[in-house]
Structure 1
């Protein structure tokens, strides 16, 4: 069998009180003292969201409950160097279209690059398409969206001030944006959408929806959620938004997730079968040698499982297929080698390299093929498990 050309495919695979109106209160801590004033900007030159008034009211309430003043405007004349200097954060609340002139753009660039904070909410990504700096600050531009619907949000980083209160998976109703580019290479992703949980996603299994990153000496935080009026009375959402404002203001400690390491290399492997008359055993898939492989019997189903030795935080599973690849397969994890949780599945595998984003605490990782793409079995050059 000949090795297929590699086709990299991103797949994804303090006490909190609740105040009036379902808005999150945050305890007073020393770091929060730097957050004193926030500007909410909601000018629209395109579609106008009817949730903007609710968003402004929610942020005002967050301010009154957490010790910072909130000003709101739709007047782009507020974007001068002198005026912006009084704010730690500017929230772009579902802005759309071309909303600043050249001088105002320059003032905002200088503000953020000089240490100011940017928070983008929902349609902030549908704004200023001809201003490249802004696209980089936001992280990605809007591309499209399906009808509003229920979807599962996967919380990748639960150490962040804006996500620590959320469950590992968060089911919510919203308008779910697709983006022109995947921002992951340039930002710290906090949450992603599980496209298998709804219809109309176009980014595959790596679909970031909330993130933060540094911009010059400043910091930006963005979420694609927040289309609906109801979002702004949802305590989970408003607490997330409060955390985002604090992150952008650098009023809270924010650390990127730890660097992933290879967890499967040289670990014990078990398999359902080995191709008859060959030395293509399971250990070949975790030996780090791209010239050796595991190959199964020529039948469905087949599986390969690796023991990581202890429970680890698994973030990615990378499968490097030989020519005999899986058309349909699933990835499962377990802490005890008996109870398994499915973290990814596909029926449209196309070989090459599948780089699957997951979020699981696991000692064992198993890949089960249920439909072969060829007359042969399942054959992997490498099964790589990345995490901490």
Structure 2
């Protein structure tokens, strides 16, 4: 640290709020670190078409070559499926499917791509990559969604949902552009992290009921998969913003930058970039608001969310260091106009590029260091955005950086509580410029309006009513997702999960491990109440146990039952 501490508090958890040393001259203005050059790597661009061929393919290849020349990657362009061998694919950090159409690979080539992804490879799908390999389930999961239809080429508004991912961080909240806007057969939101979505009111011909993802990312089969629906027109590849969008997708798929690409639903914005209503500054200094971004200035102070947060919750926020800067996120402190109240009574999750292990990014400041190796693998450098998830369950705090768990801390101090208190952002002092975007909260026990769609579980299967039966006692199982009514669930405000007009039910209201889960007439009992937790489990509060896919192989028709919660993969569910 570069500070001198207030004597009475020098040994507290909040030493990060220390006073800056006295100086005769004003502090230097914050500087922005120059981005480090990427190491040289190679990508394979594949543009074979067995159906419609886009006139823009040549412009796309040219644009990717130009991006590579400017950003240290080499491009091998081919339309020969023979390039898809295990040995050849291993030469590339990412494979780009550039407006491919139809069945473009044979069984041996498909197996090679599956092996490539399983070894940690990267996939980038551009536009008609979603109009490809309809009969290959692995590819449908890789692309995230497949083409259904499209209206005429026209301008539309793209709503940017994630401004931390390298593919979208350069964009504003609304992106106006002209393209051919695909409708997709399924909504990828439950299986992928949506980066941007179309505003269907801004153009004609959208058919996805107002929730229309158009760019997304996901961890898939051991590798990374990115897709963008843009790129139909030749003019797209001359647009600087679209070219930067492609570059960011390639960099992420190739593992050159990190991001949280887990599916995300059920979060409420605390700061969405449009204003700071509900926030209050404690102490000197503050934050500027520009382009949907809060940036710290001066200090030492704290920007506090004025509503107390209680119970279990998941807090997500995006942040960026501009250089060797310092800030932090405080949890569990009482309301006060004195920022030192957060030091004495709360916990700080540190943001600092260079301090000691227990006082640098990912640490619970003064209490527990992050797993430094995991943190280093997940961390983007100054000048690039990062995403924290701070997950509080009881008095346990789990810290995720760009989707990777880097710290696990349990409060044992009876004078403090992670479950009850306020959250705040630190403005550390002159010369420390740290920026924040998209602060959002998910709380257990919240009652949002009804939502309908698939419930996705282990191995990317769906929660399914056997045979679409409606008789009381019909078994509930996992099955390959097929968009049928048997897999269409409504998450209701009363805590029930409903399909085919009936409720997901614990047989006999039981609580023993292995108790059957079934479909039953909705009756208002505790056997039919379910709570989605921030750890991914779905719990029945009456029994205190979790919805669980039985056994250890999890194939089609594997029955679900009640089981002691352990947060294994067969207890992780993504709700609509």
Same fold (TM over 0.5): yes
Greater RCO (CA < 8 Å, at least 6 residues apart): 1
**Paired residue for 1:244?**
249
**Paired residue for 2:413?**
none
The alignment status of 1:85 with 2:81, answered yes or no, reads: no
SS of match in other structure, 1:136: helix
1:121 to 119, 126, 131: 126
For structure 2, the 5+ residue unaligned runs are 1-30, 271-277, 279-422, 425-436, 452-489, 494-576
Alpha-carbon deviation of 1:97?
Answer: 0.1
What is the distance in 1 between the residues matched to 2:61 and 2:450?
A: 48
What pairs with 1:321-336 in structure 2 (closer than 5 Å)?
none
**Paired residue for 2:146?**
141
Contact 2:95-2:123 within 8 A present in 1 as well: yes
Check 1:263–1:53 CA distance in 2 against 1; reply closer, same or farther (3 A cut). Answer: closer
2:36 to 29, 42, 53: 29
Contact 2:268-2:440 within 8 A present in 1 as well: no
Report the structure number with the largest CA radius of gyration.
Answer: 2
**Paired residue for 2:214?**
209
**Paired residue for 2:114?**
109
Aligned residues: 259
SS of match in other structure, 2:129: helix
What is the distance in 1 between the residues matched to 2:87 and 2:450?
A: 55
The alignment status of 1:179 with 2:191, answered yes or no, reads: no
Check 1:110–1:228 CA distance in 2 against 1; reply closer, same or farther (3 A cut). Answer: same
What is the distance in 2 between the residues matched to 1:253 and 1:262?
A: 24
**Paired residue for 2:59?**
54
Check 1:128–1:261 CA distance in 2 against 1; reply closer, same or farther (3 A cut). Answer: closer
What is the distance in 2 between the residues matched to 1:66 and 1:263?
A: 35
SS of match in other structure, 2:114: helix
Check 1:225–1:66 CA distance in 2 against 1; reply closer, same or farther (3 A cut). Answer: same
SS of match in other structure, 2:224: strand
Contact 1:28-1:66 within 8 A present in 2 as well: no
What is the distance in 1 between the residues matched to 2:142 and 2:218?
A: 8
What is the distance in 2 between the residues matched to 1:140 and 1:156?
A: 18
Contact 2:267-2:440 within 8 A present in 1 as well: no
SS of match in other structure, 1:152: strand
What pairs with 1:354-369 in structure 2 (closer than 5 Å)?
none
TM-score between both structures, scaled by the size of structure 2 = 0.42
SS of match in other structure, 2:216: strand
What is the distance in 2 between the residues matched to 1:313 and 1:81?
A: 42
Contact 1:156-1:168 within 8 A present in 2 as well: yes
Alpha-carbon deviation of 1:314?
Answer: 6.5
The alignment status of 1:194 with 2:199, answered yes or no, reads: yes
What is the distance in 2 between the residues matched to 1:191 and 1:225?
A: 11
2:100 to 88, 95, 100: 95
**Paired residue for 1:300?**
none
Alpha-carbon deviation of 1:113?
Answer: 1.4
Contact 1:55-1:93 within 8 A present in 2 as well: yes
What pairs with 1:239-278 in structure 2 (closer than 5 Å)?
239-256=244-261, 261=267
TM-score between both structures, scaled by the size of structure 1 = 0.61
SS of match in other structure, 2:213: strand
What pairs with 1:342-361 in structure 2 (closer than 5 Å)?
none
Contact 1:40-1:70 within 8 A present in 2 as well: yes
Contact 1:122-1:227 within 8 A present in 2 as well: yes
The alignment status of 1:39 with 2:44, answered yes or no, reads: yes
Check 1:261–1:135 CA distance in 2 against 1; reply closer, same or farther (3 A cut). Answer: closer
What is the distance in 1 between the residues matched to 2:438 and 2:69?
A: 41
What is the distance in 2 between the residues matched to 1:50 and 1:163?
A: 26
Check 1:179–1:354 CA distance in 2 against 1; reply closer, same or farther (3 A cut). Answer: farther
Contact 1:63-1:69 within 8 A present in 2 as well: yes
Check 1:224–1:312 CA distance in 2 against 1; reply closer, same or farther (3 A cut). Answer: closer
What pairs with 1:4-19 in structure 2 (closer than 5 Å)?
none
Pairwise CA RMSD of aligned residues? 3.3
What is the distance in 2 between the residues matched to 1:45 and 1:131?
A: 15
Check 1:128–1:251 CA distance in 2 against 1; reply closer, same or farther (3 A cut). Answer: same
